Structure 1
Amino acid sequence: MKIAFYGSSLLSSYWNGAATYYRGILRDLAARGHQISFYEPDAFDRQQHRDMDPPDWAKVVVYPATAQAVRQVLAEAGDADVVVKASGVGVFDDELLDGMIEPAAPRAIRIFWDVDAAATLDEMKADPAHAVRRALPELDLVLTYGGGDPVVNAYREMGARACVPVYNALDATTHFPVPPDARFSADFAFLGNRLPDRESRVEQFFLKPAAALLDRQFLIGGSGWESKEMPENVRHLGHVYTADHNAFNSTPLALLNVARDSMAQMGFSPATRVFEAAGAGACLITDAWEGIEMFLTPGEEVLVARDGMDVIEHLSTLTPERARQIGDAALRRVRAEHSYALRGAQVDGLLTQYRARVMEAAE
């Protein structure tokens, strides 16, 4: 099928945590014979911070962040069998969602793909005129980055015909164990941009333990942290490009994962970095959220912390041998059960199913 996908960016992960998610799923769909056209705006300096060249498995159209350019790229939806609007493009989100429906062919499958469902649902509950809420009756399917039954039920209550979670996963072609790199040497490391609904968790689960364990070395990567006051044993790297993620994940004794507040409250929403870290064989310490056992077994494949004191206790007792055992177990689990090949197969099955429905309804 021809898939027209309107998203934030395929070529850049700069202020765009969904990039590796898009890459993993769309690459697999292309390998299954689907023709991918990805439309991304030239916005937020992402094109100046590309970490991927245009791939041979997708046509990537970078358009100016103007209303005229949006109209031009939306016109191309008429040639597609599947039209997808992802959340969080960052510019002209409402216009893209409203505008994708009209030009789509009558037999096209119309999908909204929500990569931050908890936040979107909060917005929709507060605003009956929200663009997504208005569009739901015209959409065939809502796909989400995670959220489990709570997200599915909430979307159905809002009027979605169907909602299916497609969870993050491991792309073993891009994320895998590598030898340690001295640039990323640390006892505990965190990688993530500074966001309002993440910062308090970073303070509790990362900066508080750093202040309590001044004899340990802490490392933080991601944009926005340069102005944040931190203990002297915390080293800040700035933006870490995807090409360095394997070394960043493979080198420290342990890595931290923290969910954004909205995702932690909803549960069943593992971040992409959970699978990227596990795919590198990292020993991961994560904040507690409902549903984690669906992805990694606490105490065996991941360490779970309820607060900063739990992080301190984990780090105080964690040995290199124990860290390797946990990392190796996590690697085996994600390779077996959480690959983008499996996620791609899931989406491919859904597209086949909905294509049959649309064709039957048109007869």
Structure 2
Amino acid sequence: MKIVILGLEGARDGAGHNDSALRWRALIQALARRGHRVVAVERGAALVAPPVPPPGVEWLRYEQWGEVAATAARHADEAGLVLALAQGPDGVAAAVLARESRAERRALYDPDAAESLTALVRGDAPGHLPGDGQGGVDLAGFDLVLASGGGPALDLYRQRARAAAVAPLYPWIVPDLHHPADARTAYLADLACVAPPLGAAQAGMERFFLSVARRLPRRRFLLSGGDPPDTLDVPPNLRTLPALDHTERGAMLASATLTLALARDDERAIGWFPSDRLFEAAACGVPIVADRWEGLDAFFEPGREILVANDTDDVTTGLMLPRAHLAELGRRARQRVLSEHSAERRVQELRSLLDLTGGGDD
């Protein structure tokens, strides 16, 4: 089957790296291994070139949407499936092209479903989804809307955005990229956290990270991904780092006694939104403490694979546990994420959801 994927954002070097692009490349290669012909339309011709594509994969790269729109439309019309990613400056244009194509199946993936659902609850229209021309959202015309989260809130896509069918496609890890690393002296810490986008987890940052650092002034705390908002009181035993690429993140996580996997405030409020940061930390085999949100225990078993915190005390207690016990938690979490949340597993789910046929077996 020919599959066209629109709305991809190219990988970048250095501090501008794009981990989402690397995850999608792994998923595309997994599709190709199962006998599908994949055309990947990706913005960023001047960025890091994709790897040499495996047989059956064609990359169309561009700087401006107008350069590729006509060619992308032709491919979409010929496809068994066109999948648009609602992200980046061309996300809406890609979604409209997919919806109006003559492909046998038309699907939309919303990579920021927590933001979308929060907006729909307020009665607003998320800017990254196609509109209805009257200030609302129109997802009619797609055979399936895939969301980065799950749970009961997905019904809002049907109720307020006219989606015919909705299903979760949770984040995934790439074992070749996300794996255990060696600890480094430069990253030694008692508690480490890869920060959600700036300001997106202000309540959780205060409750589960900064309050712990203030309570334990002799312990070391490390935050990667930028400084906390100015409205938060940052203690002196907290060190901040810029965003790190996946190789450095693995070393940073391996250098900490415990890793805090912090949900965004909107993800916690809605529930059923495991972050790519949570899955990546698990893939690195490090002990994790996560703030509690509805649905978390469907992804990891609290107390056996991860620690779960309801308040500041739970995080401080986790830091006091024996290292051997924490290491065993990390080992079990890694086994779980490799089994259930890899790119290969997501391709199996995608094929099942869309009843795709190809040359390979799942």
- Name which of 266, 271, 274 aligns with 2:270: 266
Aligned-partner SS, 1:187: strand
Q: For residue 38 of structure 1, what is the aligned residue in structure 2?
A: 40
Q: For residue 169 of structure 2, what is the aligned residue in structure 1?
A: 166
How much has 1:323 moved relative to structure 2? Answer: 1.2
Q: For residue 117 of structure 2, what is the aligned residue in structure 1?
A: 121
Alpha-carbon distance in structure 1 between the residues aligned to 2:234 and 2:109: 36
- Name which of 117, 141, 144 aligns with 1:141: 144
The reply to whether residue 340 of structure 1 matches residue 343 of structure 2 is: yes
Q: For 1:243-262, what aligned pairs fall within 5 Å after superposition? A: 243-262=247-266
- Name which of 67, 70, 80 aligns with 1:69: 67
Residues 114 and 273 in structure 2, CA contact (< 8 A), matched pair in contact too: no
RMSD across aligned C-alpha pairs, in angstroms?
A: 2.9
Q: Which stretch shifts more, 285-294 or 66-75? A: 66-75
Q: For residue 135 of structure 2, what is the aligned residue in structure 1?
A: none
CA 226–124 in structure 1, closer or farther in 2 if over 3 Å, else same? closer
How much has 1:347 moved relative to structure 2? Answer: 0.8
Alpha-carbon distance in structure 2 between the residues aligned to 1:3 and 1:26: 10
For 2:307, the aligned partner's letter is L
For 1:87, the aligned partner's letter is A
Q: For 1:14-93, what aligned pairs fall within 5 Å after superposition? A: 14=16, 16=18, 18-42=20-44, 50=48, 53-57=50-54, 58-64=57-63, 66=64, 68-69=66-67, 71-72=69-70, 74-75=72-73, 76-89=75-88, 91-93=89-91
Q: Which stretch shifts more, 285-294 or 166-175? A: 166-175
For 2:95, the aligned partner's letter is L
- Gaps in structure 2 of 5+ consecutive residues: 133-137
For 1:61, the aligned partner's letter is L
Q: For 1:167-186, what aligned pairs fall within 5 Å after superposition? A: 167-186=170-189
For 1:219, the aligned partner's letter is L
Residues 37 and 59 in structure 1, CA contact (< 8 A), matched pair in contact too: yes
Alpha-carbon distance in structure 2 between the residues aligned to 1:245 and 1:175: 9
Residues 114 and 145 in structure 1, CA contact (< 8 A), matched pair in contact too: yes
Alpha-carbon distance in structure 2 between the residues aligned to 1:285 and 1:327: 10
For 1:217, the aligned partner's letter is R
- Gaps in structure 1 of 5+ consecutive residues: 356-363
CA 175–219 in structure 1, closer or farther in 2 if over 3 Å, else same? same
Q: Which stretch shifts more, 209-218 or 72-81? A: 72-81
- TM-score normalised by L of structure 2: 0.84
Aligned-partner SS, 2:355: helix
How much has 1:99 moved relative to structure 2? Answer: 2.9
Alpha-carbon distance in structure 1 between the residues aligned to 2:17 and 2:310: 27
How much has 1:10 moved relative to structure 2? Answer: 4.7
How much has 1:20 moved relative to structure 2? Answer: 4.8
CA 16–73 in structure 1, closer or farther in 2 if over 3 Å, else same? farther
Instruction: Map Cα deviations across residues 240-285 of structure 1 (whole Å, 9 max, x no partner).
Output: 0122232223221111111112211121111112121111111001
Alpha-carbon distance in structure 2 between the residues aligned to 1:79 and 1:223: 44
- Name which of 92, 95, 114 aligns with 2:93: 95
Q: For residue 299 of structure 2, what is the aligned residue in structure 1?
A: 295
Q: For residue 154 of structure 1, what is the aligned residue in structure 2?
A: 156
Alpha-carbon distance in structure 1 between the residues aligned to 2:167 and 2:131: 17
Alpha-carbon distance in structure 2 between the residues aligned to 1:18 and 1:67: 20
Aligned-partner SS, 2:234: coil
Residues 201 and 264 in structure 2, CA contact (< 8 A), matched pair in contact too: yes
Q: For residue 198 of structure 1, what is the aligned residue in structure 2?
A: 201
Alpha-carbon distance in structure 2 between the residues aligned to 1:351 and 1:303: 35
Instruction: Map Cα deviations across residues 51-84 of structure 1 (whole Å, 9 max, x no partner).
Output: x7435244443322x4533634643433433211
For 1:213, the aligned partner's letter is L
Alpha-carbon distance in structure 2 between the residues aligned to 1:340 and 1:255: 23
Greater helix share, structure number: 1
Aligned-partner SS, 2:24: helix
- Name which of 325, 328, 333 aligns with 1:330: 333
For 1:38, the aligned partner's letter is A
Q: Which stretch shifts more, 261-270 or 127-136? A: 127-136
How much has 1:226 moved relative to structure 2? Answer: 9.5
CA 178–305 in structure 1, closer or farther in 2 if over 3 Å, else same? same
Alpha-carbon distance in structure 1 between the residues aligned to 2:25 and 2:252: 20
Q: For residue 230 of structure 1, what is the aligned residue in structure 2?
A: 234
Q: For residue 7 of structure 1, what is the aligned residue in structure 2?
A: 7
Residues 54 and 60 in structure 1, CA contact (< 8 A), matched pair in contact too: no
Residues 193 and 223 in structure 2, CA contact (< 8 A), matched pair in contact too: yes
Q: For residue 361 of structure 1, what is the aligned residue in structure 2?
A: none
Alpha-carbon distance in structure 1 between the residues aligned to 2:259 and 2:146: 29
CA 244–37 in structure 1, closer or farther in 2 if over 3 Å, else same? farther
Instruction: Map Cα deviations across residues 154-199 of structure 1 (whole Å, 9 max, x no partner).
Output: 2222321111112223322222222222232211111134333223
